[in-house]
Amino acid sequence: MNMHEERPCNCGSGETYTWWAHDAQGIPLCKVCVSCEEEKLSRYRPEILTGYTQADVDEPIEPEPEIF
């Protein structure tokens, strides 16, 4: 098998057209095909796929302790 030969998706569908699914930051997550894309991406939290901002993070910031 040469490096340009299409391989079937590892989901067992037999699909030979696969691609890398990426997160919102462009980081590759997993190889998918039309048959398994939804199922494989459902393993990730939605904010990983859609992105988030600081406004989405609801975490209070504690003040620095005073040094005497």
What does the alpha-carbon distance between residue 7 and residue 48 come to, in Å, rounded to a whole number?
Answer: 28
Give the burial class of 48: count Cβ atoms within 10 A of its Cβ; 0-12 exposed, 13-18 middle, 19 or more buried: middle
Q: Where are the domains of the chain?
A: 1-44
39's CB contacts (< 8 A; 6+ apart) are: 11
What would the pLDDT profile of 9-41 be if each residue is shown by its tens digit?
999 999 999 999 999 999 999 999 999 999 999
What is the β-pairing status of strands 19-22 and 28-32?
antiparallel
Of 39 and 1, which is predicted with more confidence? 39
